Structure formats: structure tokens, C-alpha cells
Amino acid sequence: MTFTRIGLRAASALLAVTALTGIAQAQEITVYCDDIGFGCVTMAPIAKRFEAENPGTTIKLETVSYQTIVESLPVQLESGEGPDAAIITDLGGLSRYYLDLTPYVNVASFEKEYGQVLQWLRGADPSSKAINGMPTSLTVNGAYVNLALFEQAGVPVPKEGATWAEWAEATRKVSKATGTDFSMEMDRSGHRFASLAISYGAELVDDKGQPVIDKGLKDAIEQFVAWHKDGTMPMDLWGAVGGATHRELFSDFLNAKTVFYFGGSWTLSQMDKEVGDLFDWEVVPAPCGPSSCTVMPGGGALVGFKHTKNPELVGKFIDYVAQTKNNAEIIAASVEIPSSKSLIEGGVTYPGASERTQQSLSTFIAQIPKMAPAAYRFQGWRYQRAMMNAMTTRISQVLNGELDVDTALDRIKQDVDLAIKAAGSK
């Protein structure tokens, strides 16, 4: 009888241990990502391979809009909720929510491959050595031009070194001759506007992390407003949508409604697939302002969040994505510029990408050495998002006649100062 009881107890204990082991192995994490570029679609094969190599794990890639990443995710994180990980672009602004991946990744490899970009993820602590994420790809703001419309109009395409004003003049001639709806368009984005502003001499932030409102920013806003008032740019894009709402305008370029579209390198894959040979187009070198011929750098990062219940799995997956073979596969599929040093130096083959797209990548990469120090400083600033949202909101109010430019500049400063004060109280 005693033996039977002992046997039953042992069997019960074994079943309990097995059940607990099964629960421990059956781990799942959710990753938010967009469906453009380095995102859910291009990461999916890598995630499946990771699951196969790590039985009992599930990587749930949840496709969300860029608007969700920019606006909804910060609200979720503030309340201690949201996904376990995400591909984000507000690298410094969300830094207080990041999971330090140092215990879970190859630290030496991350430092070697990603160098300076890791600092963008460290927010307000320049002395930090934390590994707060894997930089996924570098992005470069830039202009797409419809060459077919230039040819139809018989207008010469401005050469490298042409100013923003010269591009505006040339595109106005083209749109008038061809009956095209718009001469120039720019994404409704503070990041895109920052390229124009810095080329006009704006600093935006100083080396002590304080916002800068200067003549360069004023000149850029006045020029931007003038282009909307004279019809060079459409009022119903920046002017019609309220607040800081982000809006990308690729569809207008796709449908040949605009001669010149200022977006960025992340849409190259989409451009290649959806425009293809419908019309002749190219990416052109950065237009020049009075101060420089600069555009904004940017990029995304795959980060984990402190609230995750599976930090080790988050870290292990991010480390897996960062491995050169896996990273190269995603970069090639997304047709983006790598942020990994070894991939930049060794080059990436983009199977299936057209010759035009390959040339466009080269043009984008050629803009990197020309970027002004102010552009790099602004990109890594913790309060970059606050400044971009303030610029977008206040410029729209100027366009709608609600503010004059001087008042808008004052409000931008007030908006950012409030954001800094609020962050200091947390």
C-alpha cells in the first residue's frame, strides 16, 4: 500500500513538473511593426526560422500603421501596456521605456556594428552603455521626381547643387505645361520639414539639449508658407489636417499628380513595385538651402520594452535578427539602407530590384556625407518628437491664418519647453 502511494505521488509530481516545463517553454511575444520596408512582411521568414530553432516559442508579428507607432504606442507604454517589442522611429523619445538588452545579446557585436546609432537610443543619458535596441536600417529624406513630366514639358531637370527655390521654379513650369495637379509635395511630417529647415540654417537643438528657435527656422517656415500661398504646394495637405497628424503622400506621386515629392528612402521598395515602368522617375540629390544641401538622417530600431514578461525571449529574438545573415536577408527584401557596419562595407545584393532602384539607393547613400551636424544632433535628441509635432501643428495654423509666423515660433518654443518640463516631472 505504501509503495503504491509513493508511486502515485511520484507520478503526480512528474506530471506537475512536466506541465510546468511545458508552460515555461510555451512563450510568446508580440512585436509591432509596419508593413513597409524593414517590417512585419520582411521579418516574417526570420521569425518563422527562429520559432523552428527554438521550439515552444511564438513570435507574433502584429502589423500596425505608422500612425499607431507614432501616436498610440507611446500612450500604451506610458500606462505600462503595449507589445513586448516594436520597430520604432522615435529613437530617443521612447528611451525610458526600453528594455536593456545587454544580458541577452552579443554586446561586442552590437557596439562594432551599430556604433553611433546606439547613442540615439540612449536618450538623455549620453554616458549610458546600455544596448537599448537593434538599429534596423538607415533612412534618408529625399526627393522623387517624375522625369516623364519634365520631358513632356521640355523643362531641364535641375542639376546637383540646385536650390529649393530653383526646384520650385522648375516644377511650377512643368506642372503648368503638363496640367499636373501639384508642382511639389512634402509629407506632412516634422521630420521631412526639418530637412528644409536645417538647409535654411535652423539648428533646432543646441549641444546642451535645449530647443533653438532662430532665423533659419523662421526663414524656412516663411518660404514653406509662401509655396502654399502661391500654389506650388497644395493647401489641402498640410493645411487641411489638424494637429500633428502624420500623412505620407506617396499615392500622389504614384498617380502622377505631383512633379516633385519629398519623402524618403523607405518607400523605394514600394516605388519599385507599384510605379515600376509606369513612368520614368528618379531620386535626385538633396536640394540646397542658403546654409547647406542637407537632409535628415533617420531610421528605425527593433526594441524591447521593460514591461515584457519574457525579457529573455525578447532579447534572444532581437539578437537573432541582428545576426549578419538574417539582417542582410531582411535588408535585401525591404530594399533599404543597412545600419550595420559590415553590411555597409560589404554591400547588399537586392535581388529583383530594378536598375533604377539600385541607382536611387546610391543617390540616397551619397547624401549621408553631406548631412549637417545639426541634422545628426536633432535626430538623436530625446525631445525630437515634441519639436516635430510642434512645428507641424504651428505651421498648419499659419497656413490656415490662425497664427502669424512670429507667434508660431513662440508657440513652438512653448510647446517644446512644456514637453521637457513634463518629462522632468516623471
Residue 300, helix vs strand vs coil: strand
| Measured distance CA(30)–CA(15) in Å, rounded | 29
| Nine-digit cell string for 83 | 507589445
**The amino acid at 15:** L
Positions of E strands within 152-275: 182-186, 258-264
Q: What is the pLDDT along the chain (426 residues), one digit of tens a residue?
A: 443 444 444 444 444 444 444 334 579 999 999 988 899 999 999 999 999 999 999 999 999 998 899 889 999 999 999 999 999 998 888 999 999 999 999 999 999 999 878 988 987 676 788 999 999 999 999 999 999 999 999 999 999 999 999 999 999 999 999 999 999 999 999 999 999 999 999 999 998 889 999 999 999 999 999 999 999 999 988 987 777 788 888 889 999 999 999 999 988 888 888 887 789 999 999 999 999 999 999 889 999 999 999 999 999 999 999 999 999 999 999 888 999 999 988 888 888 788 888 899 989 989 988 999 999 899 988 899 999 999 999 999 999 999 999 999 999 999 999 999 988 755
CA distance 98 to 65: 21
In this prediction, residue 425 carries a pLDDT of 54
Element (H, E) at 292: none
Dist. CA 225–CA 222, nearest whole Å:
5
The per-residue pLDDT for 46 is: 98
Q: Which of 323, 339, 309, 349 is nearest to 91 (CA)?
A: 339
Closest CA to 46 of 405, 359, 330, 262: 330
Query: What residue type is 195 in one-letter code?
Result: S
Dihedrals phi, psi of 389, to nearest 5 degrees = -65, -40
C-alpha 67/C-alpha 87 separation (Å) is: 13
Q: Count of residues for the chain?
A: 426
pLDDT at 246: 81
Give the phi and the psi of residue 103 in degrees, each rounded to 5.
Answer: -70, -15
Write the DSSP symbol of residue 403: S
> How far is the C-alpha of 268 from the C-alpha of 276, rounded, in Å?
10
pTM of the model: 0.80
